[in-house]
Structure 1
Amino acid sequence: MILNFAHRGSLTEAPENTLPAFHKAINNGAKALELDVQLSKDNHLVVCHDYKFFRFNKGVEGQINDYTFEEIKQIDVGKTFGEEFKGVTLPALEEVLEICPADLLLNIEIKNIPVIYEGIEQILLNTLTEYHRLNNLIISSFDHAALKRVQEINSEIPLGMLFYYRILNPWNYAKTSGLNIRSIHPNHVYVDQTFVHECKRNGYSVYPFTVSDMERYEQLLEYGVDGVFSNNPKIFGE
């Protein structure tokens, strides 16, 4: 079974990682969503990829964690995308959980680079527990120490190990990490038949990012990937 993820929601149709983007992804038939979490100054989980506001609102200085969540809700991140999204703000994770059907698989990425958010793992798991979303879930990160802390808190959580650059034998690294890794999430540019074969031979699902070109997508399917992270509704709505 192929399972594709709507990367930051449907980010070609609405501002990424916002409620409109997630609504559109769900309406496009996405069976899985990917989103990113960071912490505000007052330790609220904010759904955002960048640690600064510059791409969304060039008039806002500083980082996500320089602002309280109440202050963040006053910052427009939609107007640069289009007038119809003027006034759209970054959501709290709780807001996203409230609109996601229970059968929708969530991949929540902990954004712990370049800013290290102390305690984000416990806050995340507390929130997921409160909203009964510990099932149908993957927690991923490029910060593998963050994955270790998640596992120490709750060893039953499926973990996804993200890799941006090529490393030698990442499947061996995952196996010897001491982590309960269920899936490997590599940059798609270096994924080939051997990579997929070795990951799967070692018991890992493979979900490359970010795949929006149909020809490349079909090639990856031939290699045997279990799905991809995509910005293309034709792919993530499949």
Structure 2
Amino acid sequence: MIINFAHRGSLTEAPENSLPAIKKAIEHGAKAIELDVQLSKDNHLVVIHDHHFKRFNPSINGLVRDYTLAEIKNIDIGSSFSKEFEGTSLTTLEEVLEICPEDTLLNIEIKNIPVIYEGIEEILVNCLRDHNRFQNIIISSFDHHALQKVQALEPSLKLGLLIYYRMVNPWEYAKNCGLNLTSVHPLQTWTDQQFIEEFHNLGLKVYPFTVNEEKRYKELIDLGVDGVFSNTPSIFTP
């Protein structure tokens, strides 16, 4: 079965990674949703991709980690998207878990590069434990040390290996890195048949990112991928 992830929610219809974007993806019937988490100054899991607020609100200086959750909640991230979403603020992972159906596969990416959030793995695992949400969860990251820490804290959680740059025999790395992986998430531009077949031979799913053109999507499906991350509702809608 092909599983397509709504990348940062339905980000073409609402501010990315916001509750409205998550809700719109759910309304579309998305079977899987991807989002990013970072830590506020007071160690709350904030759902945001960038380490700063410039794309949402250029008047806000500094990094996510420089602000408390209360301060972050007062930042308008919706007006830059459209007047309809004026006053929309960032959400927390807890708020997403409260509205996201348990049968929706949720990919949570730890945004640990270039800013390193010490302890984010334990905070994330505890949050999921508090909400009894270890099922239908994939934890992914470009920081593979973060995945190692998650695995040590809760071995039952599924792990997704994010890869941006081309590597020599990345399947050998995945096989020998000590991570109990479920899937690999490569940049779609260089994902090819050998890559897919080698990872399938390891028993891993292959979910390339970010696939927004239906022509490329069909090419990747023909090559054998198990799904994609996409900003295009027609792709992530079943």
TM-score bracket for the superposition, by shorter chain length: over 0.9
Residue 147 of structure 2 is matched in structure 1 by: 147
Deviation digits for residues 79-127 of structure 1 (CA, Å, limit 9, x no counterpart): 0000000000100111100110010000000000010000000000100
Amino acid at match of 2:83: E
Residue 156 of structure 2 is matched in structure 1 by: 156
Deviation digits for residues 50-83 of structure 1 (CA, Å, limit 9, x no counterpart): 0000000000000000000000000000100000
Matches of 1:167 and 1:36 in 2, distance apart? Answer: 24
Matches of 1:182 and 1:43 in 2, distance apart? Answer: 28
SS in 1 for 2:91: coil
CA drift of 1:183 comes to: 0.4
SS in 2 for 1:181: coil
Task: Indicate whether 1:69 and 2:86 are aligned.
Answer: no
Matches of 1:59 and 1:172 in 2, distance apart? Answer: 45
Amino acid at match of 2:78: G
Residue 46 of structure 1 is matched in structure 2 by: 46
TM-score (norm 2): 0.99
Task: Indicate whether 1:134 and 2:121 are aligned.
Answer: no
Residue 197 of structure 2 is matched in structure 1 by: 197
Residue 2 of structure 1 is matched in structure 2 by: 2
1:29-44 pair list within 5 angstroms: 29-44=29-44
Amino acid at match of 1:24: K
Task: Indicate whether 1:118 and 2:126 are aligned.
Answer: no
Deviation digits for residues 139-173 of structure 1 (CA, Å, limit 9, x no counterpart): 00000000000011011111000000100111110
Residue 82 of structure 2 is matched in structure 1 by: 82
Residue 216 of structure 2 is matched in structure 1 by: 216
CA drift of 1:192 comes to: 1.0
Give 5+ residue unaligned stretches, structure 2. none
Matches of 1:156 and 1:174 in 2, distance apart? Answer: 18
Amino acid at match of 1:46: V
Matches of 2:87 and 2:153 in 1, distance apart? Answer: 37
SS in 1 for 2:56: coil
Amino acid at match of 1:8: R
Amino acid at match of 1:222: D
The farther-off stretch of 193-202 and 115-124 is 193-202
Residue 166 of structure 1 is matched in structure 2 by: 166
Task: Indicate whether 1:186 and 2:200 are aligned.
Answer: no
Residue 176 of structure 1 is matched in structure 2 by: 176
CA drift of 1:227 comes to: 0.3
SS in 2 for 1:38: strand
Give 5+ residue unaligned stretches, structure 1. none
CA drift of 1:230 comes to: 0.4
Matches of 2:222 and 2:39 in 1, distance apart? Answer: 39
Deviation digits for residues 180-226 of structure 1 (CA, Å, limit 9, x no counterpart): 01100000000111111111012111000000100000000001100
Q: CA RMSD in A?
A: 0.5
Matches of 1:173 and 1:77 in 2, distance apart? Answer: 39
SS in 2 for 1:37: strand
The farther-off stretch of 194-203 and 139-148 is 194-203
Residue 57 of structure 2 is matched in structure 1 by: 57
Matches of 1:124 and 1:44 in 2, distance apart? Answer: 9
SS in 2 for 1:185: strand
CA drift of 1:11 comes to: 0.3
